[in-house]
Amino acid sequence: MKTYPVVEITFSPTGGTKKVADLISCYLGNITNTVNLIRHDVSFSDVAVPSDSLAVIAAPVFEGVIPDIAIERMKEIQGNHANCVVIAVYGNRAYDDGLIQLKDTAELCGFNVIASVAAVAEHSIMRQFGSGRPDEEDSKELKKFAEEILEKLSSDKELSTDYFVPGSHEYKRLGNLSVVPKANASCTGCGKCAEACPTGAINKNNIRTGDSSKCISCMGCIAACPKGIRKLNPVFLAAASLKMKNLLSGRKPNEIFL
């Protein structure tokens, strides 16, 4: 089956979304270019996807929608009518309006969104939920999704972009949750957390905490800390885990719409 040059565009603060995107992209073809939407120090307005490429756009779901900053950066990209797969990655609760929002945004950028995927990755805050995902079972399932996408692309029929995707076009609003990770006195000031922060919420002159007005609680700084000393308040974490346990437990599904 024919494969394609793949342009992979991701917003993946803790790496889970990138893992899912890589698993699908590698089955679709050769990744010829990657665009990291985490970078807050660059403009994405000069990113133009070749029309003969296949774009894979992946972003995480926060409280049922895609983070505003990811949407804003994605809107700068020129799709040039390239075929596109969008992937909304959720932390084992639900993806709500996140997938339809991602599809809508990609279409605004000029992409032909021929497939939409919802996939699970380990929860970025309460990591015991969806732990280890995407795992081997996910990998096999995502490979099957990629095969379905390639089959659609190889069809003689006109590629449809008008297919059902769950969710509302009147997207949910993100709540006011702002939990800011902090480092303790063992922090060496290496700056890895500041480099990983997508919003520039960590000042290199005051590295141990973050600006709550900028922080989107993505946990990218925790994932980037080489010493593992940047953390959330354990009391908050325990309370949140108890409150959300019923919603986040069990093995939630990956889904494809095309």
pLDDT (tens digit per residue) in 201-231: 999 888 999 999 999 999 999 999 999 999 9
Its CATH class, for the domain covering 4-166+253-257, is: alpha beta
Q: What is the pTM of this model?
A: 0.96
**Token code pair at residue 53:** 């490429």
- Peptide bond preceding 60: is omega within 30 degrees of 0, i.e. cis? no
Q: pLDDT tens across 142-185, in order? A: 999 999 999 999 988 889 999 999 999 999 987 766 789 999 99
168 burial class (0-12, 13-18, 19+ CB within 10 angstroms)?
exposed
Q: For residue 228, what is the DSSP state? A: S
Q: pLDDT tens across 48-84, in order? A: 999 999 999 999 999 999 999 999 999 999 999 999 9
The domain 182-231 is placed in CATH, from the list 3.40.50.300, 3.40.50.2300, 3.30.70.20, 3.40.50.1000, at: 3.30.70.20
Please tell me the distance from the alpha carbon of residue 9 to that of residue 77, in angstroms, as a whole number. 10
C-alpha distance from residue 113 to each of 4, 64, 128, 160, 229 (Å): 15, 20, 33, 8, 41
Share above pLDDT 90 across residues of the chain, in percent, rounded to a whole number = 90
Task: Output the pLDDT for position 250.
Answer: 94
CA atoms within 13 A on the CB side of 92: 25
Share above pLDDT 70 across residues of the chain, in percent, rounded to a whole number = 99
Task: Output the pLDDT for position 69.
Answer: 96
Say if CB 74 and CB 59 are below 8 A apart. yes
The domain ranges of the chain are: 4-166+253-257, 182-231
